[in-house]
């Protein structure tokens, strides 16, 4: 899952990115209002960790912009200011949670996971599609009850397909979701085909249906037909 960290204190920013990366989140980070606004206007994230006090502007104003643009990204506000007015304002503007500094990184990770489950997975920890079952907490995939081995990117790709089943996903969208900023460095998106092919091969090998369909000139769709 893709997370954006917006925090101007370098050591805290790095600590969050390192910890969440270890928890298998794809993390991007910025440290000021301008860069944060640019990121959120261009890309979509499963969750945004947003500091209120930022160089160049307020995190609350950024939250207003997110909602004005009808963005559905989950948002956790983090702030050293443990004031009721700040909490109420943030929640009223559409934030999903509020965490007061200092906090423990495992708690932050747990709250991010809860928001993603609520927003993307309707609160479930298990995703079932026909004979497929994905446990998003254990990060396991089963086909007809048999656990199969996927690489990290294959697992993330399958999860992205399942969350967006019956929708056409462009190669750009897949690359951005799974590789973040690094996707912009690629000369082309041929590597997407390789990951899709490998995932499809493994699912078929273990007896899953052929659900990954290429849509000519557009991308891929995960569906029964």
Same domain, 147 and 198: yes
Residue 38: the pLDDT is 92
Of 88, 121, 154, which closes a domain? 121
CATH number at residue 192: 1.10.10.10
Of 105, 121, 137, which closes a domain? 121
- Please calculate the CA angle 153-159-164 and round it to the nearest 5 degrees: 125
Instruction: Give the separation between CA 218 and CA 215, rounded to whole angstroms.
Output: 6
CATH number at residue 83: 3.40.50.2300
Same domain, 100 and 133: no
Same domain, 10 and 102: yes
Same domain, 63 and 131: no
Q: How many CB atoms lie within 10 A of CB 29?
A: 20
State yes or no: cis peptide before 209, omega within 30 of 0.
Answer: no
Count of structural domains, the chain: 2
Backbone angles phi, psi at 127, to 5 degrees: -110, 125
Residue 174: the pLDDT is 86
Q: Strand pairing of 57-58 and 53-54? A: antiparallel
Same domain, 10 and 29: yes
Same domain, 217 and 171: yes
Burial of 1 (0-12, 13-18, 19+ CB in 10 A): buried
Same domain, 38 and 92: yes
Same domain, 92 and 52: yes
Of 87, 121, 155, which closes a domain? 121
DSSP type of residue 13: H
Residue 144: the pLDDT is 92
Residue 30: the pLDDT is 96
DSSP type of residue 169: E
Q: Average pLDDT for consecutive 10-residue bins of the chain (225 residues)?
A: 92 94 89 94 90 92 89 88 74 88 91 84 78 89 94 90 88 81 68 91 94 91 87
3-class SS at 145? coil
Same domain, 109 and 6: yes
Same domain, 6 and 117: yes
Q: Strand pairing of 132-135 and 126-129? A: antiparallel
Same domain, 157 and 49: no
- Angle between helices 59-68 and 33-42 in degrees, nearest 10: 20
Range(s) of the domain holding residue 94:
2-121
Same domain, 9 and 63: yes
Q: Which tokens in the block code for residue 141? A: 């995939």
């Amino acid at each position: 899952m893709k997370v954006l960290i917006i925090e101007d204190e370098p050591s805290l920013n790095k600590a969050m990115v390192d910890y969440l990366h270890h928890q298998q989140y794809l993390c991007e980070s910025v440290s000021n209002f301008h860069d944060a606004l640019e990121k959120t206007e261009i890309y979509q994230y499963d969750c945004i960790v947003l500091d209120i006090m930022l160089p160049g502007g307020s995190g609350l104003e950024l939250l207003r912009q997110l909602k004005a643009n009808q963005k559905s990204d989950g948002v956790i506000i983090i702030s050293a200011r443990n004031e009721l007015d700040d909490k109420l304002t943030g929640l009223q503007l559409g934030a999903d949670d509020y965490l007061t500094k200092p906090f423990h990184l495992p708690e932050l990770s747990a709250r991010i996971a809860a928001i993603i489950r609520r927003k993307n997975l309707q609160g479930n920890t298990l995703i079932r599609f026909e004979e497929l079952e994905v446990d998003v907490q254990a990060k396991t995939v089963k086909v007809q009850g048999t656990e199969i081995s996927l690489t990290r990117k294959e697992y993330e790709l399958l999860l992205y397909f399942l969350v967006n089943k019956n929708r056409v996903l462009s190669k750009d969208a897949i690359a951005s979701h799974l590789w973040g900023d690094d996707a912009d460095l690629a000369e082309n998106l041929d590597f997407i085909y390789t990951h899709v092919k490998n995932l499809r091969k493994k699912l078929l090998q273990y007896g899953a249906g052929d659900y990954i369909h290429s849509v000519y000139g557009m991308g891929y769709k995960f569906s029964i037909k």
